Amino acid sequence: MLAAVNLVTGAPGAANAGATNSLAAQAEQTTASSPFADLITYAVGHVTQLEEQAQTAVTGLITGSGVDVHQAMIATQKADMAFELVLAVRNKAVQAYQSVMGMQF
């Protein structure tokens, strides 16, 4: 979960040093149009990648191709935690948008 939090916050950490560097590189490549949108797009892509890894690990466990139960569970939990984090950020963004739209000027 710490890696997922670091991914969204951009905090340096051993688990996501490459992810943070690549995120910074992506942000520099794109113009300063919408860094939040770029961050969310990258996070969703990362969640998709984690889900694919979890699916591969579970398939390997079921077929008996040498994947340990612990590895499959860790991969599944990483994907689940990353998804929940991105979903929570999305919900907060929608809530903030609705709050702004409800204001009267």
What DSSP character marks residue 33? T
Helix, strand, or coil here: 103? Answer: coil
Dihedral angle sign, alpha carbons of residues 70, 12, 1, 48: negative
pLDDT of residue 32: 55
pLDDT tens-place values along the chain, 105 residues long: 444 445 544 444 444 445 545 555 554 554 557 888 898 899 999 999 999 999 999 999 999 888 899 999 999 999 999 999 999 999 999 999 999 999 877
Domain ranges in the chain are: 39-105
How far apart CA 77 and CA 56 sit, in angstroms, is 14
Place of tokens 């979960």: 1
Write out the two tokens for 101.
């739209």
Compute the distance between CA of residue 63 and CA of residue 9 in angstroms, rounded to an integer.
37
